[in-house]
Amino acid sequence: MRVLVTGATGQLGQDVVTLFSQAHEVLGLGSKQLDITDAEQCLEQVKGFQPEVIVHCAAYTAVDQAEQDEDTAYAVNAMGTRNLVNAANTVGSKFCYISTDYVFDGNGTLPYREYDNTNPTGVYGKSKRAGEVLVQSLSNQYFIVRTSWVYGLHGNNFVKTMLKLASDRDQLKVVHDQVGSPTFTEDLSLFLLELIQTDKYGIYHASNSGTCSWFEFAKAIFDEANVSIQVEPCTTDEFPRPAPRPAYSVMEHLAIRANGFQDLRAWRDGLKAFMSKYKATN
């Protein structure tokens, strides 16, 4: 199977390319190879490679910056996605769009199901939801995969930030009033690999299983890394940011179960696997 991966130099994209390449012919394109906001470039690359599946990992993910740079966020997350879907349609390709928990407002108390009403509050979430709407409107062979709290061996993420901070201080404050599900990129990639080989189209919620707060996640990181540091819980209000953060972004994996897929492993097991590989390469 020929698979085109956008955002191939990003945190998730790198793992997708590495894993998929073991079984399929993969063309990974980073932003230097493909400007997704350029419709002609998208068409040219897709027609040239003739993929059977496009896994669209590329996105504008600077959540706070998006509040001041709305046009760029929409150009990438909405219009860029439209350009790729249109190109996919010309060659009859399946389309897999990586989305986010930020399409929900985070005011809920029960895990969000795939077809619950969305209500993004910030520009990032709104632009990603716009991308979802365009995928649903334009493609008849789509997977929309929403994920959350992503971390991996490539790029910057919360786990690496915590480990870096712990190297030069002996205490840390981490918010305890935001709850979600951490997701190891390699586990998400394994699910995507299984998903794209089917025609079980629709919306999926895919994160590692179980939930925690950022505070609990930080404690687990230091525990797995054998790092001794004092971690204090604090509130979101103590660390104001330009973009609103969902207080509750736990997502129900109803579609994974209903379609007969195996759920992603527990988040703590994913973290253990990450730490083992991280220690081996650092």
Catalytic residue annotation: 124
Q: How far apart are CA 5 and CA 196, in angstroms?
A: 12
Question: Could you please report the per-residue DSSP string of 124-147?
Answer: HHHHHHHHHHHHHHH-SSEEEEEE
Q: How far apart are CA 143 and CA 200, in angstroms?
A: 8
Q: How far apart are CA 161 and CA 151, in angstroms?
A: 10
Q: How far apart are CA 15 and CA 36, in angstroms?
A: 20
Phi first, then psi, for residue 67 (nearest 5°) are -60, -30
